[in-house]
Amino acid sequence: MALKTKFTETFGITHPIVQGGMQWVGRAELVAAVANAGALGFLTALTQPTPADLANEIAKTRDLTDKPFGVNLTILPTINPPPYDEYRQVIVDAGIKIVETAGSNPAPHLPMFHDNGIKVLHKCTSVRHAVKAQSLGVDGISIDGFECAGHPGEDDIPGLVLIPAAAEKIDIPMIASGGFADARGLVAALALGADGINMGSRFMCTVESAIHQNVKEAIVAGSELDTELIFRPLRNTARVASNAVSREVVQILNNGGQFEDVKDLVAGKRGVKVYELGDLDAGIWSVGASMGLINDIPTCGELVSRMVSEAEVLISGRLLNMIGADEAESEMEAVLA
Protein backbone atom coordinates (compact mmCIF):
# COMPACT_ATOMS: atom_id res chain seq x y z
CA MET A 1 0.00 0.00 0.00
CA ALA A 2 1.11 3.56 -0.56
CA LEU A 3 -0.25 6.94 0.47
CA LYS A 4 -0.88 8.98 -2.68
CA THR A 5 -0.48 12.75 -2.39
CA LYS A 6 0.24 15.77 -4.56
CA PHE A 7 3.91 15.29 -3.61
CA THR A 8 4.14 11.61 -4.64
CA GLU A 9 2.41 12.37 -7.94
CA THR A 10 4.46 15.45 -8.88
CA PHE A 11 7.84 14.02 -7.88
CA GLY A 12 7.17 10.41 -8.94
CA ILE A 13 7.99 8.88 -5.52
CA THR A 14 6.11 5.92 -4.03
CA HIS A 15 5.78 7.21 -0.45
CA PRO A 16 5.33 10.81 0.79
CA ILE A 17 8.54 10.62 2.82
CA VAL A 18 11.80 12.51 2.19
CA GLN A 19 15.29 12.33 3.65
CA GLY A 20 16.57 15.90 3.49
CA GLY A 21 20.15 16.94 2.89
CA MET A 22 22.46 16.28 5.86
CA GLN A 23 26.02 17.57 5.99
CA TRP A 24 28.46 14.63 6.55
CA VAL A 25 25.52 12.17 6.69
CA GLY A 26 23.73 12.38 3.33
CA ARG A 27 25.96 9.95 1.42
CA ALA A 28 25.40 7.21 -1.16
CA GLU A 29 24.59 4.27 1.16
CA LEU A 30 21.85 6.17 3.02
CA VAL A 31 20.36 7.88 -0.02
CA ALA A 32 20.22 4.62 -1.99
CA ALA A 33 18.61 2.79 0.95
CA VAL A 34 15.97 5.53 1.24
CA ALA A 35 15.32 5.32 -2.51
CA ASN A 36 15.07 1.53 -2.39
CA ALA A 37 12.50 1.93 0.41
CA GLY A 38 10.32 3.98 -1.97
CA ALA A 39 11.05 7.35 -0.34
CA LEU A 40 13.09 10.29 -1.67
CA GLY A 41 16.67 10.67 -0.46
CA PHE A 42 18.99 13.60 -1.13
CA LEU A 43 22.78 13.39 -1.39
CA THR A 44 24.33 16.43 0.28
CA ALA A 45 26.40 18.15 -2.41
CA LEU A 46 28.69 20.07 -0.06
CA THR A 47 29.62 16.97 1.95
CA GLN A 48 31.72 16.14 -1.09
CA PRO A 49 34.96 18.16 -1.00
CA THR A 50 34.90 18.90 -4.75
CA PRO A 51 32.33 18.84 -7.59
CA ALA A 52 34.20 15.84 -9.05
CA ASP A 53 33.67 13.97 -5.77
CA LEU A 54 29.95 14.73 -6.02
CA ALA A 55 29.92 13.18 -9.52
CA ASN A 56 31.53 10.04 -8.05
CA GLU A 57 29.05 9.92 -5.17
CA ILE A 58 26.12 10.19 -7.61
CA ALA A 59 27.61 7.31 -9.63
CA LYS A 60 28.09 5.27 -6.43
CA THR A 61 24.45 5.87 -5.46
CA ARG A 62 23.33 4.73 -8.92
CA ASP A 63 25.26 1.49 -8.40
CA LEU A 64 23.17 0.88 -5.27
CA THR A 65 19.70 1.81 -6.58
CA ASP A 66 17.78 2.22 -9.81
CA LYS A 67 15.12 4.34 -8.06
CA PRO A 68 14.99 8.15 -8.23
CA PHE A 69 17.02 10.20 -5.76
CA GLY A 70 18.05 13.85 -5.57
CA VAL A 71 20.84 16.18 -4.53
CA ASN A 72 20.67 18.86 -1.80
CA LEU A 73 22.37 22.15 -2.57
CA THR A 74 22.67 24.24 0.57
CA ILE A 75 23.42 27.84 -0.27
CA LEU A 76 24.84 29.61 2.77
CA PRO A 77 26.34 33.07 2.84
CA THR A 78 30.02 32.42 3.64
CA ILE A 79 33.23 34.40 3.25
CA ASN A 80 34.72 31.78 0.94
CA PRO A 81 31.74 30.28 -0.90
CA PRO A 82 32.17 26.84 -2.47
CA PRO A 83 32.01 26.74 -6.30
CA TYR A 84 28.20 26.49 -6.44
CA ASP A 85 28.13 26.81 -10.22
CA GLU A 86 30.41 23.80 -10.60
CA TYR A 87 28.36 21.67 -8.18
CA ARG A 88 25.22 22.72 -10.09
CA GLN A 89 26.84 21.72 -13.39
CA VAL A 90 27.69 18.28 -12.00
CA ILE A 91 24.07 17.81 -10.88
CA VAL A 92 22.84 18.67 -14.38
CA ASP A 93 25.46 16.60 -16.21
CA ALA A 94 24.75 13.57 -14.02
CA GLY A 95 21.09 13.63 -15.07
CA ILE A 96 19.71 14.22 -11.56
CA LYS A 97 16.01 15.14 -11.80
CA ILE A 98 15.24 16.48 -8.29
CA VAL A 99 17.18 19.07 -6.29
CA GLU A 100 16.55 20.27 -2.74
CA THR A 101 17.70 23.86 -2.29
CA ALA A 102 18.08 25.37 1.17
CA GLY A 103 19.81 28.17 3.02
CA SER A 104 18.92 31.17 0.88
CA ASN A 105 17.06 32.38 -2.18
CA PRO A 106 17.03 29.65 -4.87
CA ALA A 107 16.50 32.15 -7.74
CA PRO A 108 20.05 32.08 -9.17
CA HIS A 109 19.87 28.31 -9.60
CA LEU A 110 16.35 27.89 -10.95
CA PRO A 111 16.76 28.69 -14.68
CA MET A 112 19.53 26.14 -15.21
CA PHE A 113 17.75 23.43 -13.22
CA HIS A 114 14.43 24.03 -14.98
CA ASP A 115 16.04 24.23 -18.43
CA ASN A 116 17.37 20.75 -17.76
CA GLY A 117 14.08 19.26 -16.57
CA ILE A 118 15.08 19.25 -12.90
CA LYS A 119 12.36 19.76 -10.28
CA VAL A 120 13.31 21.98 -7.35
CA LEU A 121 12.08 21.40 -3.81
CA HIS A 122 12.96 24.48 -1.79
CA LYS A 123 13.36 24.13 1.97
CA CYS A 124 12.63 27.16 4.15
CA THR A 125 11.56 28.00 7.68
CA SER A 126 8.90 30.72 7.31
CA VAL A 127 5.63 31.25 5.50
CA ARG A 128 6.97 34.42 3.84
CA HIS A 129 9.96 32.60 2.38
CA ALA A 130 7.73 29.74 1.21
CA VAL A 131 5.43 32.22 -0.54
CA LYS A 132 8.44 33.93 -2.12
CA ALA A 133 9.87 30.62 -3.36
CA GLN A 134 6.49 29.62 -4.79
CA SER A 135 6.33 32.94 -6.67
CA LEU A 136 9.82 32.30 -8.07
CA GLY A 137 8.53 29.08 -9.63
CA VAL A 138 9.96 26.27 -7.50
CA ASP A 139 8.17 22.93 -7.89
CA GLY A 140 7.65 22.13 -4.22
CA ILE A 141 8.11 23.59 -0.77
CA SER A 142 9.65 21.88 2.24
CA ILE A 143 8.62 23.85 5.31
CA ASP A 144 10.95 23.27 8.26
CA GLY A 145 9.59 23.95 11.77
CA PHE A 146 11.37 25.10 14.92
CA GLU A 147 11.79 21.49 16.11
CA CYS A 148 14.20 20.67 13.27
CA ALA A 149 17.86 19.75 13.35
CA GLY A 150 20.12 22.29 11.69
CA HIS A 151 18.87 25.80 10.95
CA PRO A 152 15.32 26.53 12.20
CA GLY A 153 15.50 30.27 11.38
CA GLU A 154 14.80 33.00 13.90
CA ASP A 155 10.99 33.01 14.11
CA ASP A 156 10.65 30.02 16.47
CA ILE A 157 7.32 28.86 15.01
CA PRO A 158 6.76 25.13 15.63
CA GLY A 159 5.18 22.89 13.02
CA LEU A 160 1.74 22.83 14.63
CA VAL A 161 1.28 26.46 13.56
CA LEU A 162 3.82 26.78 10.73
CA ILE A 163 2.49 23.91 8.60
CA PRO A 164 -1.20 24.92 8.43
CA ALA A 165 -0.23 28.61 8.12
CA ALA A 166 1.96 27.74 5.12
CA ALA A 167 -0.63 25.34 3.68
CA GLU A 168 -3.10 28.22 3.43
CA LYS A 169 -0.76 30.11 1.11
CA ILE A 170 0.97 27.32 -0.82
CA ASP A 171 -0.70 25.67 -3.84
CA ILE A 172 2.25 23.61 -5.11
CA PRO A 173 3.17 20.34 -3.33
CA MET A 174 4.42 21.01 0.19
CA ILE A 175 6.16 18.69 2.59
CA ALA A 176 6.67 19.38 6.29
CA SER A 177 9.78 18.85 8.36
CA GLY A 178 11.10 19.28 11.85
CA GLY A 179 10.18 16.81 14.56
CA PHE A 180 8.86 13.97 12.39
CA ALA A 181 9.97 10.47 13.26
CA ASP A 182 7.01 8.11 13.04
CA ALA A 183 3.57 7.39 11.58
CA ARG A 184 1.81 9.71 14.04
CA GLY A 185 3.83 12.64 12.74
CA LEU A 186 3.21 11.65 9.13
CA VAL A 187 -0.57 11.49 9.64
CA ALA A 188 -0.53 14.74 11.63
CA ALA A 189 1.41 16.52 8.84
CA LEU A 190 -1.11 15.32 6.25
CA ALA A 191 -3.95 16.54 8.50
CA LEU A 192 -2.25 19.92 8.89
CA GLY A 193 -2.21 20.40 5.12
CA ALA A 194 1.16 19.01 4.05
CA ASP A 195 1.55 16.50 1.21
CA GLY A 196 4.29 14.55 2.96
CA ILE A 197 7.16 14.83 5.40
CA ASN A 198 10.92 15.32 5.39
CA MET A 199 13.03 13.72 8.13
CA GLY A 200 16.66 14.28 9.00
CA SER A 201 17.36 12.99 12.50
CA ARG A 202 15.21 9.85 12.04
CA PHE A 203 17.05 8.76 8.86
CA MET A 204 20.39 9.61 10.48
CA CYS A 205 19.66 6.89 13.03
CA THR A 206 19.24 3.96 10.62
CA VAL A 207 21.42 0.97 9.76
CA GLU A 208 22.51 2.40 6.39
CA SER A 209 23.45 5.84 7.70
CA ALA A 210 27.24 5.81 7.42
CA ILE A 211 28.03 7.40 10.78
CA HIS A 212 29.57 5.90 13.91
CA GLN A 213 27.36 3.56 15.93
CA ASN A 214 27.98 5.68 19.07
CA VAL A 215 26.10 8.59 17.48
CA LYS A 216 23.12 6.40 16.63
CA GLU A 217 23.07 4.99 20.16
CA ALA A 218 23.27 8.51 21.60
CA ILE A 219 20.22 9.48 19.55
CA VAL A 220 18.30 6.45 20.82
CA ALA A 221 19.31 7.26 24.41
CA GLY A 222 18.65 11.01 24.05
CA SER A 223 15.39 12.82 24.74
CA GLU A 224 13.60 15.84 23.29
CA LEU A 225 15.43 17.92 25.91
CA ASP A 226 18.91 17.06 24.67
CA THR A 227 19.52 19.71 22.02
CA GLU A 228 21.00 23.21 22.18
CA LEU A 229 20.28 26.24 20.03
CA ILE A 230 23.68 27.70 19.17
CA PHE A 231 24.39 31.04 17.41
CA ARG A 232 21.17 32.61 18.71
CA PRO A 233 22.77 36.00 19.48
CA LEU A 234 24.30 35.98 15.97
CA ARG A 235 20.85 35.39 14.42
CA ASN A 236 22.08 32.26 12.67
CA THR A 237 20.51 29.71 15.00
CA ALA A 238 21.35 26.04 14.65
CA ARG A 239 19.85 23.15 16.62
CA VAL A 240 22.56 20.67 17.59
CA ALA A 241 23.11 17.90 20.12
CA SER A 242 23.73 19.10 23.65
CA ASN A 243 27.32 18.24 24.51
CA ALA A 244 30.35 19.83 26.17
CA VAL A 245 31.17 21.82 23.00
CA SER A 246 27.68 23.15 22.18
CA ARG A 247 27.08 24.16 25.81
CA GLU A 248 30.39 26.05 25.82
CA VAL A 249 29.45 27.83 22.59
CA VAL A 250 26.08 28.89 24.05
CA GLN A 251 27.79 30.18 27.17
CA ILE A 252 30.47 32.17 25.30
CA LEU A 253 27.95 33.83 22.98
CA ASN A 254 25.50 34.55 25.81
CA ASN A 255 28.31 36.31 27.62
CA GLY A 256 28.85 38.67 24.68
CA GLY A 257 31.36 36.59 22.71
CA GLN A 258 31.54 36.91 18.92
CA PHE A 259 31.84 34.29 16.16
CA GLU A 260 35.62 34.60 16.28
CA ASP A 261 35.51 33.38 19.88
CA VAL A 262 33.72 30.14 19.00
CA LYS A 263 35.04 29.60 15.46
CA ASP A 264 37.41 26.80 16.44
CA LEU A 265 34.85 25.05 18.63
CA VAL A 266 32.29 24.85 15.81
CA ALA A 267 34.71 24.02 12.98
CA GLY A 268 33.41 21.41 10.55
CA LYS A 269 36.62 19.39 10.85
CA ARG A 270 35.83 18.86 14.54
CA GLY A 271 32.18 18.03 13.89
CA VAL A 272 33.00 15.42 11.29
CA LYS A 273 35.10 13.57 13.89
CA VAL A 274 31.94 12.90 15.88
CA TYR A 275 30.48 10.97 12.96
CA GLU A 276 33.72 9.26 11.98
CA LEU A 277 35.20 8.36 15.36
CA GLY A 278 32.10 8.29 17.54
CA ASP A 279 33.62 10.76 20.01
CA LEU A 280 30.41 12.57 21.00
CA ASP A 281 32.25 15.56 22.48
CA ALA A 282 34.68 16.07 19.59
CA GLY A 283 32.64 18.92 18.12
CA ILE A 284 29.21 20.14 17.08
CA TRP A 285 26.75 17.66 15.54
CA SER A 286 23.22 18.31 14.34
CA VAL A 287 20.15 16.55 15.67
CA GLY A 288 16.55 17.67 16.25
CA ALA A 289 14.01 17.51 19.05
CA SER A 290 12.61 14.39 17.36
CA MET A 291 15.43 12.59 19.19
CA GLY A 292 12.81 12.11 21.92
CA LEU A 293 10.77 9.96 19.51
CA ILE A 294 13.62 7.83 18.15
CA ASN A 295 13.97 4.55 20.03
CA ASP A 296 15.65 2.16 17.62
CA ILE A 297 18.05 1.78 14.69
CA PRO A 298 16.03 0.18 11.88
CA THR A 299 16.99 -0.24 8.23
CA CYS A 300 15.52 2.45 5.97
CA GLY A 301 13.29 -0.21 4.42
CA GLU A 302 11.92 -1.23 7.83
CA LEU A 303 11.42 2.38 8.86
CA VAL A 304 9.54 3.49 5.75
CA SER A 305 7.31 0.42 5.49
CA ARG A 306 6.52 0.58 9.23
CA MET A 307 5.64 4.27 8.97
CA VAL A 308 3.41 3.84 5.96
CA SER A 309 1.58 0.78 7.29
CA GLU A 310 1.10 2.34 10.74
CA ALA A 311 -0.14 5.54 9.10
CA GLU A 312 -2.73 3.57 7.20
CA VAL A 313 -3.86 1.83 10.39
CA LEU A 314 -4.03 5.20 12.16
CA ILE A 315 -6.14 6.73 9.41
CA SER A 316 -8.44 3.80 8.70
CA GLY A 317 -8.59 2.58 12.32
CA ARG A 318 -8.17 5.09 15.12
CA LEU A 319 -9.27 8.20 13.24
CA LEU A 320 -12.10 6.57 11.33
CA ASN A 321 -13.41 4.99 14.54
CA MET A 322 -13.67 8.42 16.10
CA ILE A 323 -16.42 9.37 13.71
CA GLY A 324 -17.83 5.83 13.66
CA ALA A 325 -17.40 3.55 10.69
CA ASP A 326 -21.11 3.71 9.76
CA GLU A 327 -21.16 7.45 9.99
CA ALA A 328 -17.96 7.65 7.93
CA GLU A 329 -19.47 5.41 5.29
CA SER A 330 -22.63 7.49 5.00
CA GLU A 331 -20.56 10.68 4.90
CA MET A 332 -18.43 9.19 2.13
CA GLU A 333 -21.60 8.24 0.26
CA ALA A 334 -22.89 11.80 0.68
CA VAL A 335 -19.61 13.19 -0.62
CA LEU A 336 -19.57 10.83 -3.58
CA ALA A 337 -23.27 11.36 -4.44
Ligand X SMILES: Cc1cc2nc3c(=O)[nH]c(=O)nc-3n(C[C@H](O)[C@H](O)[C@H](O)COP(=O)(O)O)c2cc1C
Q: Give contact residues for ligand X (rule: CB under 6 A).
A: 20-23, 25, 44, 72, 74, 102, 123, 144, 147-150, 177-180, 198-202, 204, 286-288, 290
CB of 128 vs ligand X, minimal distance in Å? 18
Q: Which is nearer to ligand X, 172 or 182 (CB)?
A: 182
Q: How far is the CB of 104 from ligand X (least distance, A)?
A: 11
Report the candidate in 110, 67, 77 with the shortest Cα–Cα distance to residue 91: 110
**Minimum distance from CB of 204 to ligand X (Å)?**
5
Q: Cβ closer to ligand X: 38 or 159?
A: 159
CB nearer to ligand X: give 8 or 290.
290
Nearest distance in Å: CB 150, ligand X: 4
The residue among 21 and 38 lying less far from ligand X, judged by its C-beta, is 21
Decide whether 148 or 307 has the Cβ nearer to ligand X: 148
Q: Give the shortest CB-149-to-ligand X separation in angstroms.
A: 3
